[in-house]
Amino acid sequence: MFISDYFPNEVLTKANRVPRNDDGGNVELNGRLSVFGLAGRAYGKGKRIFLSEKDLHAAHNYILLNCEEIDEFVRLYDDELKVKHPSISDKDIQISRAKEFARWIKDKALAEGSTIPANVQTLALGPDMDQVSRNGYKVNGYEFHTKAYGHGKRTTNPGVCVLGDCYNELSHAFYGELEEIIELSYKGTYGGYINLFNCRWFDSEKGIRVDNHGIIDIDVHRSAYSNDPFVLPTQTKQVYFTPSPGGDASKTRAVINVDDNEVIELDGGDEPHEIDHESILVLDDIDTEEEEELLIDTDSESESQGNDSYESIEYDSDSETDT
């Protein structure tokens, strides 16, 4: 027996704390679509944001096209396109999906006498107009931070890799940096929250080189896929970009794969943040900018970060949320 065995259940100890980088596992669906139950945990100070109409459409459309229960409707949409345009190419079908599929399935859901299931209708009707942005996310055994949050720190975790294109399943990998972690809310009995990574992607065609030793070099000055910045966290692996020894140090970075639970340390800056977040009690009214050192009390004030595509206001929420 240990003294910790006599502690109340709400006191976190080695015996009952959640393992480091635990992503919470899959969530109970209760009739909801699978995309609402993906593993992963967002954490840190939440702030309410308003995406531009263009970005909100892109985010919602990406979720639709990556939800397995929507696949049959994607096939139906493609079939209708092919009937109207018999010679349409696969590339043009993908372009049409990106522009029109979200509106098409919403119209189907709202049609009188619609036979679309209620849980599919919830997703098809779209998310709330306001969203939540956070600085950190745990998924697949990794702990990601946004690039802005990690700037100047000794521990950095914004490097993202996706194997294949989630739209057309091409074989090559895509590399980028995590700009923002966005939580979208879908209302209704079968609704819930879905998190997306908003990334700056590097050009994986013209900006990538593999040397004789298999080392991958990325030209970080060549961006691409600006119309498709989003990805589901569960689709990602973590990578680290270091100055390439064989390229132009001002713009070329070598790709280093990061193992689960690995911490990348940089020279200078803060001390490594190898902290077990769940082993620390959360105290009320603590205000800190170091999310790695304490679980965040989100009632405290937060600074606005992110891109110019939205306005932001302070938002009170739980310190960690499941997808």
Sheet hosting strand 41-43, strand order edge to edge: 142-145, 136-139, 41-43, 320-322
Q: What pLDDT score was predicted for residue 318? A: 46
Tens of pLDDT, residues 67-89: 999 999 999 999 999 999 999 99
The predicted model gives 47-55 an average pLDDT of 94
Structural domain includes residue 8:
no
Describe the crossing of helices 102-110 and 71-84 by its angle, rounded to 10 degrees.
100
Measured from the Cβ of residue 247, the count of other Cβ atoms closer than 10 Å reads 17
The whole-angstrom separation of Cα 144 and Cα 40 is 11
Structural domain includes residue 80:
yes
Tens of pLDDT, residues 179-230: 999 999 999 999 999 999 999 999 988 888 888 888 889 998 889 888 889 9
Q: How many structural domains comprise the chain?
A: 1
Q: What pLDDT score was predicted for residue 104? A: 98
Structural domain includes residue 310:
no
Q: DSSP character for 118?
A: H
Tens of pLDDT, residues 103-138: 999 999 999 999 999 999 999 999 999 999 999 999
Q: What pLDDT score was predicted for residue 12? A: 41
Q: What pLDDT score was predicted for residue 152? A: 80
Q: What pLDDT score was predicted for residue 323? A: 58
Structural domain includes residue 305:
no
Structural domain includes residue 242:
yes
Pairing assessment for the beta strands 216-219 and 173-186 based on DSSP bridges: unpaired
**More confident position, 12 or 47:** 47
Tens of pLDDT, residues 132-173: 999 999 999 999 999 998 888 777 789 999 987 554 444 478
pLDDT band at residue 66 using 50, 70 and 90 as cut-offs: very high
Q: What pLDDT score was predicted for residue 243? A: 86
**114 is in which domain, residue-wise?**
22-273
pLDDT at residue 239 above 50?
Answer: yes
Structural domain includes residue 257:
yes
Structural domain includes residue 292:
no
Q: In terms of Cα–Cα distance, which of 195, 196, 205, 201 is closest to 161?
A: 201
The token pair at 261 is 């639970």
